[in-house]
Amino acid sequence: KDCNWIDDLSLRLSAGLTGNDAISTYRSLATLSSTTGGYLFDGSQPVAFYRSRLDSPDLTWEKTTAYNVAIDWSMFKGRLNITAEAYKSKTTDLLMSLAVAAQTGYTSRWTNIGSTSNKGIELSVESHNIVRPKFHWSTTLTLSHNEQKVDDIGSEDFISAYNSPGNNPYMMYGY
């Protein structure tokens, strides 16, 4: 039997994997710097080269896996439209600058550590209340809830007031 009051009922599913290399070009490579300071040899200062940045040969892109499911429902000749959506994503191999021991002569190096997760729901209800040739009144209500969390920060030695495991990223916690 036909259901005349339902215009459309659709289910949407999606999954994806994306990468992010949010550091500047060649940042994973070691750099050499030069200096001419120091002692004179035969009346001139020799040029010396030294490593000014550690390399990170195993550096990879951050990876985000995302899943999404939604239902679109249109009723009463398009006068009432409802969309309900749920999503979930997880980012691994975060690109972070990790502090190294001071005796190495360097302050930090880029590495892939840690992970974050994100999940939420959205509900949208749209109603076309009055539809006339010279007047149109519609109302849309949108509700959403999102939870974003730092799952793992990698090393126990890495201290950050803005990214502590189990909490929202970039939220400052202080006592």
The domain limits of the chain are 6-30+59-152
- Confidence at 82, pLDDT banded by 50, 70, 90: very high
Q: Mean pLDDT over residues 145-165, rounded?
A: 70
Would you say 146 and 120 are in contact if contact means Cβ atoms under 8 Å apart?
A: yes
Residue 94: pLDDT over 60: yes
Q: What pLDDT score does 34 carry?
A: 82
> Between residues 156 and 153, which one has the greater pLDDT?
153
* pTM over cut 0.85: no
Q: What pLDDT score does 172 carry?
A: 52
> Between residues 100 and 143, which one has the greater pLDDT?
143
- The dihedral of CA 157, 159, 163, 164: what is its sign? positive
DSSP assignment string, the chain? ---TTEEEEEEEEEEEEEEE--S-TTTTS-EEEEE--S--BTTBPPPEEEEEE---TT---EEEEEEEEEEEEEETTTTEEEEEEEEEEEEES-EEEEE--GGGT-SEEEEE--EEEEEEEEEEEEEEEEEETTEEEEEEEEEEEEEEEEEE-S-TT---SS--TTS-TT-----
Tens-digit pLDDT profile for residues 50-79: 777 788 888 888 999 999 999 999 999 889
Q: Mean pLDDT over residues 126-141, rounded?
A: 94
